[in-house]
Each structure stands twice: as C-alpha cells, then as structure tokens.
A = this chain, B = another copy of it.
Amino acid sequence: MKLTQTILKQAKAAVPALAAVPAEQLDRALLCVADELEARSAVILAANADDVARAEGHIAPTMIDRLRLTAARIADMAAGVRSVAALPSPLGRVLYETDRPNGLHIRKVSVSLGVVAIIYESRPNVTSDAAALALKSGNVAVLRAGKEAFASAYAIVEAIRAGLRTAGLPEDAVNLIEDTTRASAMELMKADGYIDLLIPRGGAGLIRSCVENATVPCIQTGTGICHVYVDAAADLDMALDIVNNAKTSRPSVCNAEEVLLVHRDAAAAFLPRLRARLIDDRLAAGKTPVELRCDERAFALIGGTPAGPDDFDTEFLDYILAVRVVDSVDEAVAHIRAHSTMHSEAIVTADPAAAGTFINGVDCAAVYVNASTRFTDGGEFGFGCEMGISTQKLHARGPLGLPELTTYKYIVTGNGQVR
C-alpha cells in the first residue's frame, strides 16, 4: 500500500505540468478517459463484484445499491466525462481588466487551484465525476473513496490514468488514496501545503469532522432544511405536484423538502388535498405515507401530528413534513430566514410581486419559483457532473460548478513603474 504522504507528494509534483496543459488537450484527455472507462468495463465490473460481495450483509441494501455498477452505469459515467469535456473551459477567463493612470495594465485571470481532494463514500461513479471536473479545471485530483468501494474506485482510477497516458498527460493528475482507514481522511484534512481545496461528500459525520478538524481550505457541503412556500396566488395543482415531488421523490437527499409553509388564504383549499395526496393516495398505492407535523392552524384543518418545538429545525431525510400556516409572504420569508440552512427554498405563486419578495428575501444557495427544490444538483444545473453542494457563502454556493474549481491571478504588466 502506498502511503498517503507519498501520494500527496506525487500529486503536488504533478501540479506545474498539468497547469501548463492547454484547455483543448485537457478536453482530448477527457475523451480518452471516457473511452478507457468503456474499454475496461469488464475489469471495472469484476472489481465492483468483489466490492459488492465483501459488503453484502455488512451494509444496508440501499448502500449496496449505491455501490453496485452495471455496464449501463459505466456507460453513464463515460457519458458524464464526455459531457464535461464538451463544456467551456473555466481557465484563462479574464474576470476584470483595467488600465491604470500610471500605465499599468491589470488583468484578473482564472487559473486552476492546484490540488483538489475529494473524500466520498460508496458510489463508484463519484470517482470519474470528480476526476473529470477536477481535470477540466486544470486541477490534480486526490480521491479518497470509502473502503467498501475501494476495488471499484481503484479499477476506475486505473482506467482514468490509462486515458491520461494516451493523451500525453501526467498520470499523477488523478490519484487514489490507498489507505481506507479513518487515518487517511484525517491526514487529508491536515495536509497543509499539499491540498488547495478539500471537498467532503458524505454524511453529516464526515462534514462535521471536516469543519472541526480540517486545516486545509474546505467547502462545507450538505445539510438542507429546504422549504416550499405555497402562496395565496399559487396554482394549487402545481403546488401539489411540487410539494409531492420535493418531499417524496427521494427523501434521503439534501435537496428534499422538509418544511411546508402555506398562506392562510390557500390553506383551507390546499391542505386537505395535500393530505389526500401524501397520505391517502400513497397508502392506496402501497407506498410509505408522509407523516405531517402540523402547527396549530394546519392541525385544525387536517389533523396529523402536532408539530413539536424542533420540527421546524430538523433535516428529517425521511417521509416526514413539517407544516405551518403563515399570514403573508413576508412571514414566510421571516420564518425561512430564522430556520434555513441556506440550501434551497421554493415559492409557488402566480404573483410576480410575491415571487420578487421571496427571491430577494430568502438567503440561500438556490431559490425556486414554481419548481421543485430537487433540482439543486450539478447535473441539473448544466455543470456536467455533480461535485458537491456548498451551503456556505464564501467561494462557492450551491452545486459546485467549474468556476468554483478555479481561483484567479492578477497579471500586471508595466514598463518600469515604481510606487
């Protein structure tokens, strides 16, 4: 097993060579990587079968499903890498340019960060997604997969490195950490001077550990207490579809809805229909019903569970929805400002003034008008793949796109200016 320190050194050493590669050659390399992923499909599937066999009985069936690859999933991974290659390069963009009175010419130009490290868990496709986004933005990738996915990740990284060699790029542009114990995650968090950006992708425990322990620059991802506000001027059919989708399409993810706010003028018409849709219809279809935790006014209309003091501050990640009736869009905004985790918030309304108040009033990464919060995702935003969703305000907010994987440099040219 290679030491983590050795891998970090080889990654850092690859930075200058990778930074000198023109954008077109990076794109050609990504196409070679996609080809190698498909060419090595059988090898990757065999490694994945080993991972699955070792994991079965030890992790939950939903985790096994996340871990398992198929030929179709590998084709999807290759397609993801090709879609990243097709995006415009985030490098070399002139972000600001000025001529100063003293004759200095100043340009602010986007450049790669250097080494981007990603700690993730059991989904093998994160390996190629993260590597593709890092490469496209001129960064060396250091990948640290969960131990249950190691053999799959190893086979995928071997394919990626083969693609890089074919394209004439340094293969150390993509690196897999071989130590899958907790020690290596901690080593990455403390690797000052070796890692320019660390992205933790995983559960609350991993994120908290990064916030507490990381001394390298780190982007906080994750927690989403997402709200949908159904306005007095909402199309109630649309509102039903959006709340149903935001709550039930995949309750375990961070962009799922946790809290419903309903304008008092819509509540009497909307809430009974919502109850029918989320409970009665689902029971009739043999699906898990949604538990509605209602404030006093909502409870008076549809019953359910009386909401407790923590229900408006909990990321349930389950078939549970907190419901509150509000008097105005301003009250909805104030509630969200007090309880939001700054992830995704939605308003359903046909009133442009209410939409404007909501858009400007809530403080979050993504604010939706007449659409589900579930769209907060790199792929859905057109970023090619998903790298993580930032809930902080500095540097990156929402799905990490290619610009967020770059920094910039001021290039100042003169003819002897002194101050």
Contact = CB atoms under 8 A, between A and B. Distances in A.
Contacts of A407: 393-394, 397
A382 B412 CA distance: 13
A360 B197 CA distance: 20
Interface string A252-295: 00000000000000000000000000000000000000000000
A217 B392 contact: yes
A408 interface: yes
Contact of A412 (B20, B367, B393, B410): B367
Interface stretch (A153-161, A200-208, A241-249, A301-309): A241-249
A418 B249 contact: yes
A174 B79 CA distance: 51
Contacts of A367: 409-412
Nearest to A371: B414
A49 interface: no
A414 B245 CA distance: 14
A55 interface: no
The number of chain A residues touching the other chain, given as a range, is 35 or more
A372 B100 CA distance: 14
A206 B371 CA distance: 46
Contact of A417 (B20, B375, B381): B375
Interface string A218-240: 01000000000000000100100
Contacts of A416: 235, 238, 241-242, 370-371
Interface string A88-125: 00000001101010001010000001100000000000
B96 A419 contact: no
23 contacts: A100-B382, A104-B371, A104-B380, A113-B393, A197-B394, A238-B416, A244-B418, A355-B413, A359-B411, A364-B409, A365-B409, A365-B410, A366-B411, A368-B414, A369-B414, A370-B414, A370-B417, A371-B413, A371-B418, A374-B418, A374-B419, A376-B410, A393-B407
